A and B are shown apart, each in its own frame.
Chain A
Amino acid sequence: MAIASPQQQPQIHRFPQFKYVDGVRWLPPLSAFSRFAVIALFDSDSDSSSIEIHSLTQNPLDIVPHSTWISPSRVSSLKTSQLHRNPLVFASTYTGSLHVLSVEPMEASLDSELSVPEKMLHDGPISCVDVMDGGGECLTVSEDGRVSLVSVGESGLSYRRIFDSNGLVSYNAVKWASPTEFVTGGCGFSLQWWDQRKPGGAVSQFKANWASGIVHCIDIHPSRKHTCLAGGSFGTVFAWDLRSQQQPIILSGLEGSKTSNPSPCESEVWEVHYDPYIKSGNLGGMSSTQILPAMICSEDGILTSIEQGKEPVELLAEPCAINGFDINRQHPSEVICNLEWESVAILSRP
């Protein structure tokens, strides 16, 4: 694996939280200068969970708790979005409830909360939520095999079940592709493509079964809605193009290392995002089958950027797992990640 040259080496700041970090996200900007991060924490001493907004200060870089909301249960998945210029925080829990917190833009405080209680959406923990860009439509999936849609409206939350596999298929990841389409993923490196205009089941399916692992995360680029990037067990990252259905492009992992590059990691890939910071040589001339650059984090403590046909560039190698990360959309040079050892790391790339 290529190591970034000294000039490209990101600056890394680690912040111990003294609580387990269940998730981190950047908050959509409230003003031009302020930066906020949303952190979901679990305190084992008091057995309590919370979602905190931390504000970032520069020179020296530091994070300071700003506003706190106590969660009834541990947060299993965390997303942020913006609706009518108001930032929203979506959090699902291990007991199956979903909470939508709105952030007061002047004070950057978590002020009001809407929620769907447990057992309404799913039976057991919600494994993943995804919120439509600039909208209040939130998809939730679970291992119980249900896919639900929660909408934030004037009169509160409304929800409906899109599909129920009755436990025959477990879903671990979900991602919107367009206002009507989305993709789910789960056991056996399987992906399902759904279209709300065609109810009753997935429109298209993919199952790889490379020694069988689990898809943990999905990303879809707004400009390439037909391609779905998925990460999962054994360091596997692959792209599934709807137009060439059964021929996935393997970017990393055991299966990929047989043919092309050595894999940057061997363990679970917990999160994958397209990386807007990396400017590919000729973006304009890039064919639409070329996979855009992405970033992954893994159980073996690697945060790395990967690009089709290039050596991965390692950004961070920790002695503990990196359980998730988020790239700041407004300042793509900044990455925040949650580490297994009760801390948060912030990277600033030059």
Chain B
Amino acid sequence: MPGPASDSSPSGALVLSSWEAREVVYPIRHELKPPIARLSISWARGNSFRVSIFTQHPANHTSDSNDGEVGGQVLEVKIRNGDGEISAAEFRRIAYGSVSPFALLQSRKHMVSGLSKMSMGLPRFNPDGWEYLAEYSKDISSVIGNPKLIPSSAIEDPLEILKKVEEPTCLKAAWELMDVFYADKQSHWWLNERLVDWLAEYDSVLSTTQSTIHSKLVDFQKELNNLQVVEDNPRYWDVILSALAVGWQEIVVKMLRLHGSYQLDQLSRRETENGLVEAVAFLISEMPRMRPELDSGKFGQCFKTKPDFTKAWEKWRSKITKLDGSGFWVHCTHVQTRKGLQNMLRIILGDVESLSGATCNWMELYISQLLYVRPFSMGLESMYNLAEKCMQLKPASNTDRLMALIIGILGESPEIVLAECSRGFGPWMATHAMELLIEENDEAETLLHEERHDLGGVSIEELHRLVYAQVLCSHAFTWQIAPIYLTSCAKQGIGFLETLLYSQAVQHNGVLLKNLEICRLYELDSLSSNIMKIAGVYHWKHGRKGCGVFWLKQARDEVRLNKIAQQLFDSVGKSISDESFKQWEGLIELLGSESKNTGGLEFLHKYRDFKKSLHQVHQKGKTTGAAQSAVDSLIALMKNPSTPQRFWLPILNDSLKLIDWHGGPLLNTEQTNLLLNKLQELSMAKLRPDFVESDLPPLALSSIRLALAKNLGRAFLEGC
């Protein structure tokens, strides 16, 4: 076997990015000297392939051909996609984890559809459908990962404005977004606030190309420790405005409290200034929110009904307006503070220009508009128009995958959403997110379940599941979960599954038995017996006869078992060594006697008994007892109709010593006659065209005749 691959790149993997044009050249480094004579490329398992490079064979052997490079080199190249966010091992963990929620949802859907069929005519009977879906979405979400707080010191650091968390993944952000819109429709009355929460958690992964408010905050956090007077720094106010725009009120309040006027030695001098800062901070922390509750540590008043919320909002706004028009501003001598606070009020009052200035991209602008400009809009109404307006104000040169997904969702087009899931996040996302799209959405259901002629008769749903199953099949660790997805594919699933199971290796018992277990679960009996046959032949060929025969028997493979039995016949009538006789005997034992169709096994067993007793006669010498039992075996063998004619003569030849027993006749008249008749039958058979001449010495027949005649005579005498 060629040695392991020497890698072409440091990580040993090519990086293919779906964003770039298709034709990209990737150099593969090898250590051979040109000229290269031949290249051969072959696919290996999964996303890897082998490139074999052969050098020119030296034309004349006199040249220095002994520099060890006559052969060539085999390189194994692995391809991975450009998604560096999730490693292959992490992806497998997600794949394992999502099996149970997916299977549970499928079985519940089956149950519900069964129930609704039973109650035909009644309106759709699906009382708990939403709960199932919400549970599924939560389960999958927890599989993708829960951002963990990195433990910090017990004493709160006043300068720590951003809580340290593990960076969330883009995939998680995408799934949570799907959850907000499709899984948890019970919470649509506070959709705006859910989007605010979503942005707060995932702003850091929103864009790979543009800056975000999160990245601004991170940068400022680094600077913060070196700043003496924060309120003199324009960046301080800039960051506060940004955080306020997207509703991160606890960060805003925390930052305002860093204001210099709070310091004890300055409090007396900057009383008015401090009053204003505190007033703004207080108002911000009192902001009415249309949502059931807020996490501890977050600010705002929660309202669950629209009238209550509207009332509170108006009241709060009037307070802001009042503060905006108050006379205290004139007494605020610190210019930056005055301007900064007034800009904050402008944001709260929903000044589009201020909002646009405070946000980094259209998504953030969109969220800020939901918060301050259109706090009363509920559900999906006219959301897309608003988003379009934001995109016009903050056009993006490059569409990031999360933003593309959001546009699709707001556009209420399941087709685009699915396409973006697949393009941006791969087959896993497409397969699992589809479940969210379909539920209670007839348009999506028709779209995804319709059988498509251009897809070879399968639906889009099935297509995505098949693609995902293929990804699972390509890895030695995940192929076992592919059947879960394949069996949910009505058209091509079973076909794919059979191909998958057929292609698994049979070398190792573990893998083989796992494979057979899947066959058992899905009742693929004929497939299972075929796999057993393959295993049987494999073990037989590698000299593990016991294993081979075991699997062939399990598969009830009479044809091959018969062939093995036929091989055993070849030893009949020949003198074989003790060792090979043991092997031969063991094999007969293995084949067993319970199978009736296995031709000639009965004969083989009888022949074995005969051979054994004959062996004893030869070993122990002249004891008449052993000889008598050998004769019994001989007669049983010759009487049996299953004993092939071609072995009669060799068997009789083997038993010459018995027939011509020195200590007196062992066969009685009847037995001798039986054997003579057999000889007679043989000479008649010689005339038939299909007779097989045995390769015994020519004199054998006559010596047998002579011995038999002699024995008959002696038997007569004894009988008298």
**A contacts, CB < 8 Å to B:** 16, 18-20, 44-45, 47, 94, 123-125, 127, 143-145, 165-170, 172, 186-188, 212, 214, 233, 267-268, 299-300, 319-321, 323, 340-342
Contact = CB atoms under 8 A, between A and B. Distances in A.
Interface string B459-474: 0000000000000000
B547 A143 contact: yes
A299 B517 contact: yes
A16 B93 contact: yes
Contact of B544 (A145, A320, A341): A145
B514 interface: yes
B544 A144 contact: yes
A167 B545 contact: yes
Given A20-B477, A212-B550, A299 B514 contact: yes
A127 B509 contact: yes
Contacts of B477: 20, 44, 341-342
Given A44-B475, A299-B514, A168 B583 contact: yes
3 A-B pairs with least C-beta separation: A18-B89, A341-B96, A187-B550
Interface string B522-544: 00000000000000000100111
B514 A212 contact: no
B4 A168 contact: no
Contacts of B378: none
B39 interface: no
B329 to A, nearest CB: 54
Given A165-B586, A299-B517, A321-B514, 10 more contacts: A123-B543, A125-B508, A143-B509, A145-B544, A145-B546, A167-B545, A168-B583, A320-B480, A341-B477, A342-B96
A267 B513 CA distance: 9
A166 B583 contact: yes
Nearest to B78: A45
A168 B590 contact: yes
A12 to B, nearest CB: 15
A18 to B, nearest CB: 4
Chain A interface SS verdict (over half): loop
A218 to B, nearest CB: 15
A103 B231 CA distance: 62
11 contacts: A47-B4, A123-B543, A124-B542, A144-B543, A145-B544, A166-B545, A168-B586, A170-B547, A187-B550, A340-B480, A341-B477
Nearest to A339: B96
Nearest to B590: A168
A187 B89 contact: no
B99 interface: yes
Contacts of A319: 99-100, 103
B4 A170 contact: no
A45 B513 contact: no
B317 interface: no
Contacts of A125: 508
Contact of A170 (B99, B550, B587): B550
Interface in B161-197: none
Category for how many chain B residues contact A: 35 or more
A143 B508 CA distance: 10
Q: Which of A123, A165, A319 has the most CB of B within 10 A?
A: A319
B401 interface: no
Contacts of A340: 480
Nearest to B542: A124
Interface in B462-520: 475-477, 480, 508-510, 513-514, 517, 520
Contacts of A320: 96, 99, 480
B92 interface: yes
A340 B476 CA distance: 12
Given A44-B475, A44-B476, A188 B508 contact: no
Nearest to B544: A167
Contacts of A19: 89
A4 B383 CA distance: 52
Contacts of B89: 18-19, 45, 342
Nearest to A168: B586
B544 A143 contact: yes
Nearest to B100: A319
B553 interface: yes
B227 interface: no
Contacts of B90: 18
B554 interface: yes
Contacts of A94: 508
Contacts of B99: 319-320
Contacts of A168: 545-546, 583, 586-587, 589-590
Contacts of A47: 4
Contacts of B587: 168
Interface in B425-479: 475-477
A320 B100 CA distance: 10
A214 B590 contact: no
Nearest to B513: A268
A172 B546 contact: no
B477 to A, nearest CB: 6
A212 B554 contact: yes
A180 B498 CA distance: 48
B111 interface: no
A19 B475 CA distance: 12
A115 to B, nearest CB: 21
B393 interface: no
A154 to B, nearest CB: 36
Contact of A299 (B100, B513, B543): B513
Interface string B88-130: 1110110010011001000000000000000000000000000
Contacts of A214: 509, 513, 550
Interface string B60-104: 000000000000000000000000000011101100100110010
Contacts of A342: 89, 92-93, 96, 477
Nearest to B87: A18
Interface in B572-601: 583, 586-587, 589-590
A171 to B, nearest CB: 9
Nearest to B12: A46
Contacts of B547: 143, 167, 170, 187
B96 A170 contact: no
A94 B539 CA distance: 15
A20 B583 CA distance: 39
Nearest to A187: B550
